[in-house]
Amino acid sequence: MTRILAYTDRISVAPGGSVQVKVSCDGLDHYHARLIRVIQGDVNPSGPGYREEVVDLDLGGPIPGRFQPIHAGSYGIVEGAPPLDMGKSFSMQALIWPTLPGCGPQTILSYEDPNSCAGFRLYMDAAGALAFQVTELQGNSDSISTGSPLFAQRWYLVTGEFDADSRTLTVFQVPQISTPKVQDRHKNSKVSTIGTFEAGSDAVIMIAAHSGCERPALEHFNGRIEAPKIFTRLLDEYEKVNPGTAEDRELIAAWDFSVGISTDRIIDASENQLNGLLVNLPARGVTGHFWNGDEHCWKNNFDHYAAIHFHDDDLYDCEWETDIEVKLPDSLKSGVYAVHLQSGSEEYYTPFAVRPPRGTRSAPVAFILPSASYMAYANNRIGIDVPETEIVTGRLVQMNPIDLFMQTHPEIGLSFYDVHNDGSGVYYSSRLRPIVQMQPRQIGHLGGVGSNLWQFNADTHILGWLDQLEQPFDVITDEDLENEGGQVLEGYKAVITGTHPEYYSVGMLDGLQSYLNAGGRLMYLGGNGFYWRVSFHPTLPGVIECRKSEDGIRVYPPPPGEFYASFTGEYTGLWRRNGRAPNELVGIGMVSQGFDCSSPYILTEASRDPRVSFIFEGVEGPVVGDYGLSGGGAAGLELDATNHAWGTPPNTLVLATSERHSDLYLMTPEDMDDPAPGLGGSEAEIIRAEMVFFETPKGGAVFSTGSIAWCGSLSHADYNNDIARITGNVLQRFLDPTPFPVM
């Protein structure tokens, strides 16, 4: 199941367009490929049954399998460096803030010929001490270390140099704060055993890694690097102790990371203009050595944000070669599709949306495939890295083949639910890598007792429901909404969300809001939606940024001074902390989560209001949804409820509410201003899902369920149940163009 991996270049394509599929096989000679439409991905024997539809399209093959590696770890690379040799003195300097000193050699700055590996580099040695190495053409090398390990999370000015007159190598590490009883200021020199090297015309300069002969980069740095410089002279003592004092004489390069923070470029401020490229998106817009708390937004004081945080597990784009180009038939109907790759018992699905051609609609209903939330959760290690998962799910954690694979292959990259190897938070997540959890048939960890589905596969409960209703629908992804705004939703009679559309950009939110403002009808069939603000990169495809500032349920808090997105300069965090609480959009907002069992809803008095009689046709009540594949009830996993203080419209009707949850359901930290006993689901009144309805100004309306588990109940008793009836009643009325009365 994990010997074939793949990803596509795009997540959304119109009929007639093409998709590039990038495949890697681990020891498989050949594989077969076919295009399928995803209908129902749940393989639970108690569920509605797995269903896919094969598209009659020849993708060629059998296709020869080949291995394509993933090289995680970020670094900067500069080509076209002027030749250097040992006929003249030279020096390298940088400010560094290491995070994992002592965890293997880690490069700060290197100048090497990638063919011969001749050159020199400044690095931390295996013990975490500053070291400097010279390697000659035949591979012989000589190095010197201070022998004094650096401390983590501490700024140092580090210098390595070669004195051509005395033939000596020198290293000097200077902590920027001196601390009694901590002896980490050290200098060391020796006469070099290497007489000469010629790292000639092909030499590359790398920051935070050095060029390996077998792979693109080796011995990545973990931590922050600021203002790396190379001189063709020796630095004096004052310059070696005081950052920013080295004069610009005989400079080869001086990179200023405070320039171009939103980009993947690094700018050399010297006359040589040795500008370079960052690979695998190290974190920018992070505080540097000069940051003092006066300014919290990098746009207002670039000098305080002149550092880049590199990680040995950063990954943006695997840059695999294309193995299959799928040219989609012009007549292909909109939907969620996947290229299915198979070799014997090994298989992989790489899904994408087929959207209607730009500016057109092919159905009255649009389903928004929450691709930004899939990216946010991409390859999350909640099941394998987080030991608390058993306690919060209330049962043993089950490891499926993808979990076993991710445990031994961390190079597949991280999600917004993980921390880097050095414990720092993950700011960026991309889809230009295999996302093993984004496949039909896959089982998650947080989906509750029953099918235990999450995100992509949980959303197939909606696809399956629409399919059995024979309801034509278009699929629009988050990226389409980001790129085209509300226009992409214009004219749809109803728009349906996924089960967990948690991550929204300002463009997406504006798009959805403008659809509603124009009289659109929205069915929010999930929970914990519209929660975190994310930013798409202005030019790089397939990547989003999220910093979970202030509060909210999160695995790490970004450090002080880092609450602004590097991609766009936006203030990050919860949408409710950005003045646009989900309550304003959909009437409800996140109040609690728990991942064991779900509960039924109890209909309220308001459910008998004539305004909503269409919703409950054929529904008896008062208990609805005491069944389902996501925890055994319709109200569960993550719950939303009304809150007028956060903008729930005053015309909102609370139609039903869940009344009892287990004590594994807990309040969100953002609502827990003053902790007091009784925070669990059996006691705290705030812990409930609320099903709501309200009309919008131009004859539109919103129906929200407030529960991720809702759609797990749709297929119960062969779709003959109250949850399916309520959802279907809402859809039928929303398809009716008769405006909802405003008065």
Positions in the binding site for Fe ion (CB under 5 A): 502, 528
Among the listed residues 70, 259, 399, 469, the single contact to another protein using CB under 8 A = 399
Contact 167, 179 (CB under 8 A): no
Which 34-53 residues touch another protein, going by CB under 8 A? Answer: 43-46
Among the listed residues 385, 510, 659, 671, the single contact to another protein using CB under 8 A = 385
Shortest approach of Fe ion to residue 502 CB, angstroms? 4
Which listed option, another protein, Fe ion, none, makes contact with residue 502 (CB within 5 to 8 Å by class)? Fe ion
Cβ proximity to another protein: between 212 and 401 the closer is: 401
Other beta carbons within 10 Å of 699: 16
Euclidean distance between CA atoms 460 and 100, whole angstroms? 42
Euclidean distance between CA atoms 496 and 489, whole angstroms? 11
Euclidean distance between CA atoms 51 and 639, whole angstroms? 29
Cβ proximity to another protein: between 279 and 402 the closer is: 402
Q: How many positions of this chain bind another protein (CB under 8 A)?
A: 31
> Biggest alpha carbon distance in the chain?
94
- The mark string for 549-588 relative to another protein (x by CB under 8 A, - otherwise) is ----------------------------------------
Which 424-463 residues touch another protein, going by CB under 8 A? Answer: 443, 449
Q: Which residue is nearest to Fe ion (CB)?
A: 502
Shortest approach of another protein to residue 44 CB, angstroms? 6
Euclidean distance between CA atoms 383 and 389, whole angstroms? 6
Q: How is residue 237 written in tokens? A: 């003592």
What are the distances in angstroms from CA 402 to CA 74, 384, 741?
25, 11, 50
Which listed option, Fe ion, another protein, none, makes contact with residue 679 (CB within 5 to 8 Å by class)? none
Cβ proximity to another protein: between 44 and 275 the closer is: 44
Other beta carbons within 10 Å of 740: 19
Which listed option, another protein, Fe ion, none, makes contact with residue 699 (CB within 5 to 8 Å by class)? none
Euclidean distance between CA atoms 738 and 734, whole angstroms? 9
Cβ proximity to Fe ion: between 162 and 427 the closer is: 427
Which 628-667 residues touch another protein, going by CB under 8 A? Answer: 662-663
Backbone φ and ψ of 347, nearest 5°: -150, 160
Closest CA to 516 of 492, 542, 548: 492
Among the listed residues 54, 213, 404, 717, the single contact to another protein using CB under 8 A = 404
The pairing of beta strand 589-599 with beta strand 666-667: antiparallel
Q: Assess 408 for contact with another protein (CB under 8 A).
A: yes
DSSP letter at 582?
H
Among the listed residues 103, 397, 518, 606, the single contact to another protein using CB under 8 A = 397
Which listed option, Fe ion, another protein, none, makes contact with residue 311 (CB within 5 to 8 Å by class)? none
Which listed option, Fe ion, another protein, none, makes contact with residue 133 (CB within 5 to 8 Å by class)? none
Euclidean distance between CA atoms 266 and 253, whole angstroms? 11
DSSP for 12-46, written as a single string: EE-TT-EEEEEEEESS-SEEEEEEEEEEE----TT
- Map tokens 């040992």 to a residue: 86
Which listed option, Fe ion, another protein, none, makes contact with residue 537 (CB within 5 to 8 Å by class)? none
Among the listed residues 99, 188, 400, 729, the single contact to another protein using CB under 8 A = 400
Burial 639-657 (b: 16+ CB within 10 A, else e): bbbbbeeebbbeebbbbbb
- The mark string for 582-621 relative to another protein (x by CB under 8 A, - otherwise) is ---------------x------------------------
Q: Assess 715 for contact with another protein (CB under 8 A).
A: no
Euclidean distance between CA atoms 10 and 18, whole angstroms? 9
Which listed option, another protein, Fe ion, none, makes contact with residue 704 (CB within 5 to 8 Å by class)? none
Euclidean distance between CA atoms 555 and 104, whole angstroms? 26
Cβ proximity to Fe ion: between 204 and 382 the closer is: 382
Q: Assess 79 for contact with another protein (CB under 8 A).
A: no
Shortest approach of another protein to residue 404 CB, angstroms? 6
Give the interface segment with another protein, choosing from 271-279, 324-332, 397-405, 563-571 (CB under 8 A).
397-405
Among the listed residues 421, 457, 477, 499, the single contact to another protein using CB under 8 A = 421
Which listed option, Fe ion, another protein, none, makes contact with residue 43 (CB within 5 to 8 Å by class)? another protein
Contact 127, 218 (CB under 8 A): no
Which listed option, Fe ion, another protein, none, makes contact with residue 597 (CB within 5 to 8 Å by class)? another protein
Shortest approach of Fe ion to residue 323 CB, angstroms? 33
Cβ proximity to another protein: between 236 and 390 the closer is: 390
Shortest approach of another protein to residue 385 CB, angstroms? 7
CA 322 centroid distance within chain: 23
Cβ proximity to Fe ion: between 528 and 599 the closer is: 528
> Hey, is 95 helix, strand or coil?
strand
Euclidean distance between CA atoms 430 and 50, whole angstroms? 28
Q: Assess 387 for contact with another protein (CB under 8 A).
A: yes
Euclidean distance between CA atoms 538 and 321, whole angstroms? 24
Q: Assess 677 for contact with another protein (CB under 8 A).
A: no
Q: 661-664 contacts: CB < 8 A, separation 24 or more?
A: 661/592, 661/594, 661/599, 661/635, 661/636, 661/687, 661/688, 662/394, 662/594, 662/596, 662/597, 664/392, 664/393, 664/394, 664/594, 664/595, 664/596
Among the listed residues 136, 256, 312, 403, the single contact to another protein using CB under 8 A = 403
Shortest approach of Fe ion to residue 505 CB, angstroms? 16
Task: Give kind and range of the element (H or E) at residue 633.
Answer: none
Shortest approach of Fe ion to residue 455 CB, angstroms? 9
Binding site for another protein (CB under 8 A): 43-46, 381, 384-385, 387-388, 390-391, 394-401, 403-404, 407-410, 421, 443, 449, 597, 662-663
